[in-house]
Amino acid sequence: MKHPRRSALLGLLLVPATGLALVPPASASPGPWPGPFPGPFSGPGRFVEEAPFAVSGEVAEILAATPDGRTVVYTDSGAGEVGFVDVSRPRALRELGTVQLEGEPTSVAVTPDGAYALAVVDTTDGDFAHPSGYLAVLSVAGRGVVRTLDLGGQPDSISIAPDGSVAGVALEDQRDEELVVDGVEGGLPQLPAGSLAAVDLSGGPADWSVSTVDLTGLPGARFPEDPEPEFVDVNADGTAAVTLQENNAVALVDLHRGTVVGSFSAGTVHRTDADLTDDGVASFTEDLTAPREPDGVQWTAGGNLVTANEGDLAAEPSGGRGWTVFSPTGGVLWDAGASAEQALADAGRYPDGRSDDKGAEFEGAEVAAFGGLSLGRHRFREPTPYAFIGSERGDAVLVYDLTDELAPRLTQVLPTGEAPEGVLALPQSDLLLTSDEDAGTLSVFRFTRGR
């Protein structure tokens, strides 16, 4: 007599560790495994570094990927192009080609069907009084521009809703950092004010349209007449979380209705365990009071927000020098305090030469779950949610177990190439990548399940 469960388990145990992809049929709804998983993958996973990949152009800044996790798209503002990389073999990445664009591509996202890469392109060219830019719609298969849409401002970030119905574009209309305002070099306000573009993705590219959402006058912003939106992430409801970095604030926008539904100040850190002295010694003993000034932002599975607090406008020293978990109403649920920079120091990655400036500059943020295993209709391990926080000056990514969003737990510090700008998680391919702006490389890490 055959035992279906025993046969299924035997087949599972014979699958090699690499390339393991055990998922239920599309029609199945996995339930919990009726007993302990007897296979070899029982402990927590880890990320293992693979060889970095040098892009063909000048720099790599922001990353996106096709839904199957096999093709990565990156922006290269230096060369004015968008590149495509085959990542199906993590130890042998291969460039598929580039698309030249008029202007500086600043961010990119891929539609959920994998058909199009949406690159936002800055054409301001230093004319801060007249910011401009457009959305370039690229065919992923053909690697060519199929349409462009004017955005009416200088774009800095784009994110697409998971269902592909709408996209949000942060139009920063950035300030002139050499212009003195009220005695502050690069100070605010500097008009015109930035805004958020809502892109209706209904139908095909020929049907897509752009509308503008006003972000001025929001509660919590330091300079409400000049919001300076920096980064955007859109959740399953079509709500965009937008960081107003220089304003030390976050705005929430319903993209379907084109309305602001909330905003809050990111607040101020008050610490006695910072390193503010450039003396070649990582010593976290000094007083720091500074606005967080968040850059990267991500929605969590629990409906909260993760921000990477880089700093920017405030007088030095500035920035939160860590990262924070916020509720959607702005409550601080958890803050890294000194622990993030201390973790870099413990790993030999803390940039003490930046101590009197903005420290390690935590800029990029990513949230994703890795490591779930299912067999048929049974799930015997839930995936582990992680937060990945990129340190631009520490040349590293901090990996946190985000199972408890009120108490994230550091699991690894991963060394990257110089100045990681973008962080991209590909759970479907068991990969984590960073785009290392100054190095012109992609750093590649492979998730390995525990044994």
Spatial separation of the C-alpha atoms in residues 388 and 380, rounded to whole Å: 25
Using alpha carbons, list the distances in angstroms from residue 262 to 219, 236, 267, 301. Answer: 8, 17, 16, 19
Whether 76 has a pLDDT exceeding 70, the answer reads yes
Task: State residue 2 phi and psi, 5-degree precision.
Answer: -85, 145
Q: Is the pLDDT of residue 23 over 70?
A: no
Tell me the per-residue pLDDT of 130-187, one tens digit each, with 9 for 90 and over.
999 999 999 999 999 999 999 999 999 999 999 999 999 999 999 999 999 998 899 9
Distance (Å, rounded) from C-alpha 315 to C-alpha 40? Answer: 53
Share above pLDDT 90 across residues of the chain, in percent, rounded to a whole number? 84
373 — pLDDT class (breaks 50, 70, 90): confident
Q: Is the pLDDT of residue 101 over 60?
A: yes
pLDDT-based confidence at 429, cuts 50/70/90? very high
pTM above 0.95, yes or no: no
Question: Would you state the pLDDT for residue 379?
Answer: 67
Domain for residue 76, yes or no?
A: no
Provide φ and ψ at 8, rounded to 5°.
-65, -40
The answer to whether 387 and 368 are in contact (CB under 8 A) is: no
Residue 335: which domain range?
A: 163-448
On whether the CB atoms of residues 355 and 278 are closer than 8 A, the answer is yes
Q: What is the pLDDT of residues 177-194, one digit of tens each?
A: 999 999 889 999 999 999
Return the structure tokens found at 113. 């069907």
Residue 259 lies in a domain: yes
Q: Is 273 exposed, middle or buried (0-12, 13-18, 19+ CB in 10 A)?
A: middle
For the stretch 388-399, pLDDT in tens is 999 999 999 999
Is the Cβ–Cβ distance between 181 and 189 less than 8 Å? yes
* CB-based contacts of 56, cutoff 8 Å, min separation 6: 83, 95, 98
Which residue from 396, 406, 451, 443 is spatially nearest to 424, judged by alpha carbons?
A: 443
- For residue 336, what pLDDT is reported? 97
The dihedral through the CA atoms of 173, 176, 180, 185 has a sign that is positive
Query: Tens of pLDDT along 35-57?
Result: 444 444 445 789 999 999 999 99
Q: Enumerate residues 6+ apart whose C-beta is below 8 A from 5.
A: none
What mean pLDDT value characterizes the chain? 90
Taking residue 270's Cβ as centre, other Cβ atoms within 10 Å add up to 9
Which 8-state DSSP code applies to residue 428? G
Contact by Cβ (8 Å): 340, 398:
yes
281, part of any domain: yes
Q: What is the pLDDT of residue 432?
A: 98
Given a cut of 90, whether residue 240 has pLDDT beyond it is yes
Per the domain annotation, does 149 fall within a domain?
no
Supply the DSSP symbol for 382.
P
CATH of the domain at 249: 2.130.10
Residue 39 lies in a domain: no
Q: Is pLDDT at 1 greater than 70 in this prediction?
A: no
User: Is 273 inside any structural domain?
Assistant: yes
Categorize the per-residue pLDDT at 449 as very low, low, confident or very high, splitting at 50, 70 and 90: confident
pLDDT value, residue 39: 44
pLDDT value for 26:
40
Q: What is the pLDDT of residue 22?
A: 36
Residue 393, domain member (yes or no): yes
**Cis before 40 (ω within 30):** no
Say what percent of the chain tops pLDDT 70: 89
* Statement: residue 12 has pLDDT above 70: no
Q: What is the mean pLDDT of residues 226-246?
A: 98
pLDDT score for 29: 44
pLDDT value of position 366? 98
Identify the band that residue 317 occupies on the pLDDT scale cut at 50, 70 and 90. confident
Per-residue pLDDT at 377? 72
Q: Is residue 451 very low, low, confident or very high in pLDDT (cuts 50, 70, 90)?
A: low
Could you give the angle at the alpha carbon of 292 between the alpha carbons of 287 and 295, nearest 5°? 140
Mean pLDDT of 27-31: 45
Instruction: Tally the domains of the chain.
Output: 1
Residue 139 lies in a domain: no
**Cα 187 to Cα 180, 190, 226, 427, distances in angstroms:** 6, 8, 11, 41
- Band of the pLDDT at 316, cuts 50, 70, 90? confident
